[in-house]
Amino acid sequence: MESFDVAIIGAGLAGLELCKQLSQRGFSVLLVDRKSDLSQQIHTTGIFVRKTLEDFDLPAHCLGGVVRDVRLHSPAGQQLALHSPFDEFRVGRMGALYQHLLEQCQNLGAVFSGNTHYLGSSKSTFGNVLHLEQGGAAIAVQTRFLVGADGAVSSVAKDLGLDLNTEFIVGVEDVLTNVPLNGQPCFDVYLEPNLAPGYIAWVVHDGEHVHLGTGGYAKQFKPAHALEVFRQRVSQQFDFSKATLLERRGGKIPVGGVLKRIIQPRGLLLGDAAGAVSPLTAGGLDPAMRLAQFAAQMLEQYLGGDSSALSAYNASAWRTRFTSRLWMRRLLASVKQPHLLELGFWCLKHQPLKSMAWHVFFGRGGSFPDLEYPAKKAVRYEL
């Protein structure tokens, strides 16, 4: 039976980043995904925020144009324009980015098993035996450590007896080209309780591609229908007459905050599987990369023989960062009366709420805590 130091289930951003980081450290890594081609069936819009763009080395050819403007829209048509002097957002060309990261992993010696389904795992003296299926053939593999980077609904979490996401929104979007850009690239955000209950509808135009989408609680709307109505609603601002549909994307987004139990001696959870998504913005790309980097640092110690290292992967310390964001989104989701929403929006256009809105969209605040392994010691000041 083939054996590896680490097996990672899921070659999304979280799995790929961890695979790269562990391979760089000399570990033997098996990366498994049910997709045969990582550039297919992408589910994310791919908006990277300034903090990620500054802290991680994402190749320019995998990123769209710079976006520095956000326009917020109320249902009745009030608008709030926010501008940043910094390069705040860039939409990832996710297919190209996944392929680029995969190549890096393979060049570093990682083994990629595409078109391969993770079926389950069991405890062994080595660590874990994985049961995989590729093209109808069953494969068993040994691994010292197992990582569940298998997305919002994680099978690995179940097998390892770790926590599962329970609170979700769903998002659906069309990626279009040939839509004229009027003015600067912009991220238009629409508060639309009917078309996006509990979340937002959006149009991101980065000069080349347009992402037109909506998200919300699955039980409260019909995503595909809402997207159609939304497209008509914004067709006065955007000329879709010559638009070409490149692809439709969509999927579940866990918005309950980081889960409590995301690690045990045989394995851990990463990215969406760990619930590492901002409950307010539903941004999961920055958390996926940051948590992968931290997990690699921790695993280097753990697999090197320091069994105490696991305790640093401590979700309860990170969960507090998410609490206020979780309640902010639940509060926003609960405001359904049109006049209250318009009044709230009017307040947003004036200080101090305008500054708060600026900080939600811009700045280096980030959707996930800065992680450093080992954790920095608190600085003591002599009085």
Ligand X SMILES: Cc1cc2nc3c(=O)[nH]c(=O)nc-3n(C[C@H](O)[C@H](O)[C@H](O)COP(=O)(O)OP(=O)(O)OC[C@H]3O[C@@H](n4cnc5c(N)ncnc54)[C@H](O)[C@@H]3O)c2cc1C
Nearest-approach distance from CB 359 to ligand X, in angstroms: 17
Nearest-approach distance from CB 193 to ligand X, in angstroms: 19
Report the residue number, 204 or 341, with the smaller CB distance to ligand X: 204
Report the residue number, 201 or 341, with the smaller CB distance to ligand X: 201
Report the residue number, 341 or 371, with the smaller CB distance to ligand X: 371
Angle at Cα 268 formed by Cα 267 and Cα 270, nearest 5°?
Answer: 145
Report the residue number, 205 or 341, with the smaller CB distance to ligand X: 205
Question: If we measure between CA atoms, which residue out of 278, 271, 223 comes closest to residue 33?
Answer: 271
Please report, as a single letter, which amino acid is at residue 75.
P
Nearest-approach distance from CB 346 to ligand X, in angstroms: 28
Nearest-approach distance from CB 285 to ligand X, in angstroms: 3
**81 in helix, strand or coil?**
strand
Does residue 357 contact residue 348 with C-beta atoms inside 8 Å? yes
d(CA 234, CA 238): 6
Pairing mode, strands 2-9 and 137-148: parallel
* Other CB atoms within 10 A of residue 25 CB: 16
> Could you identify the residue written with the tokens 């926010």?
82
Q: What's the number of CA atoms in the CB half-sphere (13 Å) around residue 200?
A: 20
Please spell the DSSP secondary structure of 151-163, one letter per residue.
-SS-HHHHHTT--
d(CA 142, CA 346): 59
Question: Residues 6 or more apart from 59 whose CB is under 8 A from it?
Answer: 97, 100
Indicate the helix (H) or strand (E) that contains 187: strand 186-190
Report the residue number, 168 or 341, with the smaller CB distance to ligand X: 168
* Other CB atoms within 10 A of residue 158 CB: 13
Nearest-approach distance from CB 36 to ligand X, in angstroms: 10
Nearest-approach distance from CB 81 to ligand X, in angstroms: 20
Report the residue number, 118 or 362, with the smaller CB distance to ligand X: 118
Binding site for ligand X (CB under 6 A): 9-15, 32-35, 43-47, 117-118, 149-151, 155, 171, 173, 249-251, 253, 271-272, 277, 282-286, 288
* Other CB atoms within 10 A of residue 64 CB: 21
Q: State yes or no: cis peptide before 223, omega within 30 of 0.
A: no
Nearest-approach distance from CB 265 to ligand X, in angstroms: 22
Nearest-approach distance from CB 271 to ligand X, in angstroms: 2
Indicate the helix (H) or strand (E) that contains 327: helix 315-334
Please report, as a single letter, which amino acid is at residue 109.
G
Report the residue number, 13 or 82, with the smaller CB distance to ligand X: 13
CA distances to 46, 79, 158, 171 from 353, in Å: 27, 14, 42, 27
Report the residue number, 198 or 284, with the smaller CB distance to ligand X: 284
Q: State yes or no: cis peptide before 75, omega within 30 of 0.
A: no
Report the residue number, 46 or 64, with the smaller CB distance to ligand X: 46
Nearest-approach distance from CB 252 to ligand X, in angstroms: 6
